[in-house]
Structure 1
Amino acid sequence: MAGYIWLLRLSCRIEIVAGGEYLEKVLADGRPVVPCAWHQRLVPSGLFLRSLVDRGMNIGFLISPSREGEFMSRVAHNHRVTPIRGSSSRSGREAMQALTAAVAEGISPMMYGDGPRGPARVFKTGAVILASRTGSPLLLVGAASSRFWQVNSWDSFQVPLPFCRFKIALGEPWPIGPLHDKHEAEAISEQLGRRLDALCETARNAPP
C-alpha cells in the first residue's frame, strides 16, 4: 500500500478543474477547514489534500486505533499527514472528540460523508456537527480519476491506476453555524450530498 501511494504521487497529475479560487482563499486565510468527499473517491481526494501540505495546509485523516490502524498511521507519517486516532464505527463520540481536538491544533481533518460503511453517497451528519462545533467551514472536494479499477464493495470503491489524471472540483467554503437539533443537521447533510454529487460530475465531465 505504501508503495502504491508513492507510485501514484510520482506518476499521477492533479488538476483543479473548478473552484480553484476557493482553494486560494482557504490557503490565504491559513485557518483549518473540514474537507469532505465521498468514500468511493478516497484515493484521488486524499492525494489532492496531501498535495496541499507543501502549500502549508496541515492535513489529518481519522485512523482506527486497531493494529491495522497503526500501520496506516506510519504510512500517514511517511507522507507528512497527521493521523487522528479514533473509530467512527465503534465510538462516534470518541472520534468526534479526537477530530475536534485536531481542528483546535490547526489540522484540517479529511471527512468522508458516507464512510466508513455507507450507505453509499448518503451524507451523514458527522462533518456538519464537527464544522458547527469548531467554526471551521466545510470544503467539498469532488474528485474523479481518468483511469481506475472499480472494486465490488458497498461504495464501488475506485482504485486509480498509475499515470492517470486526478480532476478536482471544489465547492465554496461552507460555514455551519449553531445547530438547534438533529433535523437541522440532517437537512444540511442532504444539501451537502447533492452538492458533492454535482462537484463529482463536474470533475468527471471536465475535458481532457
Structure 2
Amino acid sequence: MNTCVSGARRRRGAVTVLAAAALLALAGCDGGDLISYDLPSKPARYTFEAQTDTVRTVWEYTSAKATKDDAPELSPCIGDVVGSNMAPCRPEPLIFLRYDFGLDLDNTVRAGRKHQVTVVAYYQERLTTPPKVTSLTAESSFDGGRTWHPAVTKSGGRNTYTTTIDNPRRDLAAKGVGLRISAADSQGNTVTQTIPVAYTLR
C-alpha cells in the first residue's frame, strides 16, 4: 500500500498502524515522497480518519498482508511503476460515499418541507471483488452538529439509498443542515462521514 507524505513527516521503521492510508494510492505526490506500508500476515482491524475542509470521515476495516497482486493493468501497484517495491499489493476495501443533495439552482433547499437526498456507496475501481453494502443510516443536524436526529432511509437499488430530511423553518437552521451518514458492508467494513453543512435553507 502506498501514500504520499512530506519529507519532514517521513518516518523510518514500522508504520503498520498507518496502513489505511492506501486511500491515497496513485493520487500523485507533488513534492512529496512515496512510502509503502507493509501489513502483518494476521488479519487485524484498522481505523483511518480523514478530514477535508469541514467534512470528517472515519473508516474501520479488516485487512492483512497481500499475498498476490489485485490491481488491473491500467492501475498498477506503485512498486511496479517506480520499481522500488515488487511485493504484492491491493487497494483496501474502503467504502466511499457520493451524494445528490437535490439542490435548486441557487444551491439551496426549501425550508419547512421534507427533502430527499440520494447517497451512493461505492469502492475503488481497482478492487476486483468489492463487498456488498448491507446497511446505510442517516442523521440530520440543524444546530451545527451539537444534536443529531435520525432520518428515514430506504434502499433504492444496489448500494444506493434515499434519505428523507424533515427540514425545519429557516430560522431554526440558520447556518444550514448537517448530515451524518454511516454505512456497513458484508465484510464488516464501515464508514461514518459527517458533513456539518450539507446544504442551506431558504
Asked if TM exceeds 0.5, the reply is no
Query: Structure 1 length normalisation: TM-score?
Result: 0.24
Query: Structure 2 length normalisation: TM-score?
Result: 0.24
Bigger Rg over Cα: 2
Q: Bigger relative contact order, structure 1 or 2, given CA contacts below 8 A and separation 6+?
A: 1
Larger helix proportion, structure 1 or 2? 1
Larger strand proportion, structure 1 or 2? 2
